Amino acid sequence: MNASILALALAAPLIVAATTAFSGSAEAQGPQCAPREALLQSLSKNYKEAPVNMGVTSTGSLIEILASPAGSWTILVTVPGGPTCMVSSGDGWRKSPIQIAQDPAV
């Protein structure tokens, strides 16, 4: 697994907790949550984003990274039995080759 994806998967529950715990009274400051299919449809329709990577955390949350050909990207977290929340988004997504660690003893 790509080291950056692994780090993201391990950090995602902390990102969600921190975003939720420190959001102020303004709704725009907290994560945007909705049913998973509704978010996927909206991101596809409005930004042409589609899933490019995903993984499951040790707590069972699904982490998904969506990206568009134009370079926009969104990170979604789906909590088991709960909603799907957008925890981050941006521009400039670039596909990186997966690098597999080599065993130095080989």
Taking only the tens place, the pLDDT of each residue in 27-65 is 455 679 999 999 999 999 999 999 999 999 999 999 999
Rounded-to-integer distance, Cα 80 and Cα 92, Å: 30
When divided into structural domains, the chain yields a total of 1
Rounded-to-integer distance, Cα 20 and Cα 77, Å: 13
Q: What pLDDT, on the 0 to 100 scale, is given for residue 29?
A: 55
- Domain annotation covers residue 76: yes
Domain range for 53:
3-90
pLDDT band at 92; cut points 50, 70, 90 = very high
Q: Please state, as a whole number, how many other Cβ atoms lie within 10 Å of the Cβ of residue 25.
A: 6
- Domain annotation covers residue 10: yes
Q: What pLDDT, on the 0 to 100 scale, is given for residue 97?
A: 79
Listed in order, strand segments (DSSP E) in the chain are 32-34, 50-56, 62-67, 73-78, 84-90
Percent of the chain whose predicted confidence (pLDDT) is above 70: 70
Tell whether pTM > 0.75: no
Please tell me which residue, 81 or 4, carries the higher pLDDT value. Answer: 81
